[in-house]
Structure 1
């Protein structure tokens, strides 16, 4: 009798621990991962790199759905804001999510109040590149050239409110007294093409898309924005090393859910995305994506998003950008 009851008693003792180890929530059908841009961009690439692993961890596929349209991806974002808050829909977006209110006067949703933060999906540092025929080789010689040519400088940008544009404006603010003409192109590709051809003197671009042009010698890299070098451009100094510590800029990515999504669903999604980021760190690193573990929790991510919205709005206001 005693021998029979002992395993049952032990099983009873361990049952609470086993229960705690099981996910408190799991999706019962595929999860929609809405990317509010066309396929092929940085946000879409990050989403697709993560999707299979996240789906495996959740026990249901994470199906990427591109819903492009509107300034800063408004159409796709609005579809998630209005989706059922049941954990089966997430928005995979970039920092364009917090830039939108600075561009659009009548927003169809609130980027903060209508969303729950899920997970930070890394950042891609930005790099300053110049036309290869410019008589500059580093930040010191560039600053001398800029001051000598103030008022005659074309600075290519990937469109008002883009991460490239923000990085460009922060650079311009870090070089007071130099007049630069910001020329807006329809995306990062055309802006880079303008620098290569000589139609523009310089541009700021995410390292992921600029690296092939830098390695191929069609443009010259001057510095990576921020205090540290980029992993895929180890030979390019950081802005701090180059003597311009005030210049810090990066594109970031994150997952959001509709507000009022239950906490257990947020926790399960957060765990799946964070684990996928860890497992796929080498692959993401090849794309220039750097993890930021300090924003791993939904609470830390939301605090960061709020702060970045304020920072971005200040940069765009200083540049004279008004919501339309």
Structure 2
């Protein structure tokens, strides 16, 4: 689906806030908590949407990075315990549903403590390497990994992140290679480590990786999954590269404390969907694909509830245990 058709479908699926009679409106700035360090994909998407969503709400959107804890648990917990009045939103990645499978002691219930407000697009993940390594494609990467087994530093955005999930699936696909997973406080710091040569490789969503790839500070080897990414047409897919078992993508969403009034949830849903509609072409250039089929809260909630056990099954098959 083209960005233009996606925007049209989303416009038809989402009522404009201006037409909603008696709709809840925020009476002060809305705090959007990103539970990772600046520079990662979740942060990039949040900042891309902030101005447009704020205009829809008639209030300023204040982005607050609350990095720390596995899968961004510190920021997520802060939102779960915040006043359920619509003025605090969690903008998270699919790490939201990954965390329960990788963290043995969760400080909140993903389904019981949060309401799903808006799906904010899906994005392929891409494996990149330090550009000074003698690696140009998957074949040379696998040869280098096997020659350096036990000496490879594999940067990750932290335990329970979407990058971590993609990395564990990759490791399971090449079981004859030993790699040290180095956990950072978000995708931004993980990518910075690869650029600086402090880690050899990482997997990152296109939304945050694409600028580094185009700028030449890292080298893209393959896109996870069966197909190429439209914004990186010269980078082969994992399936094309002979690694069909490596299939992972990320998604983003907005969540609020579960007791937030339904009227506030509806207003936020409409504002975020309108923001996605307006920014669809720009988001597409970042590799983020708008998913109009999940525009309603009910559809997004069903998506989240289905993804939770799916992720758990993937990690079980990969032999990954909670920490």
TM score, norm. by length of structure 1: 0.79
Distance 1:179 1:258, change over 3 A: same
Looking at structure 1, the residues matched to 236 and 57 of structure 2 have their Cα atoms a distance apart, in angstroms, of 40
Q: Given the alignment, which residue of 174, 180, 183 partners 2:181?
A: 183
Match of 2:12 in 1: none
- CA apart distance, 1:152: 4.8
> Are 1:77 and 2:37 counterparts?
no
**Mapping for residues 159-178 of structure 1, pairs under 5 Å:** 159-175=158-174, 177-178=175-176
- CA apart distance, 1:262: 2.9
- CA apart distance, 1:122: 1.7
Match of 1:156 in 2: 154
Looking at structure 2, the residues matched to 196 and 59 of structure 1 have their Cα atoms a distance apart, in angstroms, of 39
**Mapping for residues 36-185 of structure 1, pairs under 5 Å:** 36-132=35-131, 137-140=136-139, 142-143=141-142, 149=147, 151-152=149-150, 154-158=152-156, 159-175=158-174, 177-185=175-183
Distance 1:67 1:152, change over 3 A: closer
8 Å contact from structure 1 (residues 80, 258) kept in 2: yes
**Mapping for residues 283-322 of structure 1, pairs under 5 Å:** 283-317=282-316, 318-322=318-322
Distance 1:276 1:199, change over 3 A: closer
8 Å contact from structure 1 (residues 32, 89) kept in 2: yes
Looking at structure 2, the residues matched to 64 and 189 of structure 1 have their Cα atoms a distance apart, in angstroms, of 16
8 Å contact from structure 2 (residues 150, 180) kept in 1: no
- CA apart distance, 1:223: 1.2
8 Å contact from structure 2 (residues 127, 204) kept in 1: yes
**Mapping for residues 29-40 of structure 1, pairs under 5 Å:** 29-30=27-28, 31-40=30-39
8 Å contact from structure 1 (residues 23, 268) kept in 2: no
- CA apart distance, 1:281: 1.6
8 Å contact from structure 1 (residues 161, 316) kept in 2: no
- CA apart distance, 1:311: 3.6
Match of 2:20 in 1: 22
8 Å contact from structure 1 (residues 94, 253) kept in 2: yes
Looking at structure 2, the residues matched to 207 and 153 of structure 1 have their Cα atoms a distance apart, in angstroms, of 27
SS in 1 for 2:240: helix
When the two chains are superposed, the root-mean-square deviation of aligned CA atoms in Å is 3.0
TM score, norm. by length of structure 2: 0.79
Looking at structure 1, the residues matched to 257 and 285 of structure 2 have their Cα atoms a distance apart, in angstroms, of 31
Looking at structure 2, the residues matched to 55 and 134 of structure 1 have their Cα atoms a distance apart, in angstroms, of 43
Match of 2:240 in 1: 241
- CA apart distance, 1:196: 5.5
8 Å contact from structure 1 (residues 125, 251) kept in 2: yes
- CA apart distance, 1:114: 0.7
- CA apart distance, 1:163: 2.3
> Are 1:278 and 2:293 counterparts?
no
Query: Cα deviations across residues 260-313 of structure 1 (Å, max 9, x unaligned)?
Result: 323332222111111110101222234332222232222222222233333443
8 Å contact from structure 2 (residues 38, 188) kept in 1: no
Distance 1:195 1:246, change over 3 A: same
Unaligned regions of 5+ residues in structure 2, if any? 1-17
Looking at structure 1, the residues matched to 50 and 283 of structure 2 have their Cα atoms a distance apart, in angstroms, of 13
Looking at structure 2, the residues matched to 109 and 123 of structure 1 have their Cα atoms a distance apart, in angstroms, of 25
Looking at structure 2, the residues matched to 39 and 143 of structure 1 have their Cα atoms a distance apart, in angstroms, of 31
Unaligned regions of 5+ residues in structure 1, if any? 1-19
Moved more, 132-141 or 231-240: 132-141
